[in-house]
């Protein structure tokens, strides 16, 4: 039952990310949703990129949305540079 709820929350989050306005980064919204889910289900926030943040990053790349958070942009660049695939 817990996995079903989490899956439903993630699906809802992905749909919300896709519907983000032009002035909001889907990646940033995904990070907020990931943190809220983690806090609600585990009590702690994991600072690594979550599934919704990664989905938001893809949405931003497809739509040409700029990431306006310099710290997060640096983290993304470092992540891409060290990605073995």
Within 8 A by CB and 6+ apart from 38, the residues are 44, 45, 46, 50
Indicate whether this model's pTM tops 0.75: no
pLDDT of res. 13: 65
Q: What is the mean pLDDT of each run of 10 residues along the chain (85 residues)?
A: 63 61 74 84 75 83 77 77 77
Cα separation, 73 vs 7, whole angstroms = 28
pLDDT of res. 28: 84
């Amino acid at each position: 039952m817990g996995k079903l709820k989490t899956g439903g929350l993630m699906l809802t989050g992905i749909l919300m990310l896709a519907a983000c306005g032009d002035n909001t980064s889907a990646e940033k919204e995904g990070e907020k949703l990931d943190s809220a889910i983690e806090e609600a289900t585990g009590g702690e926030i994991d600072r690594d990129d979550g599934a919704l943040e990664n989905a938001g990053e893809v949405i931003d790349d497809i739509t040409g949305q700029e990431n306006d958070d310099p710290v997060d942009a640096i983290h993304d660049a470092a992540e891409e540079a060290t990605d073995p695939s």
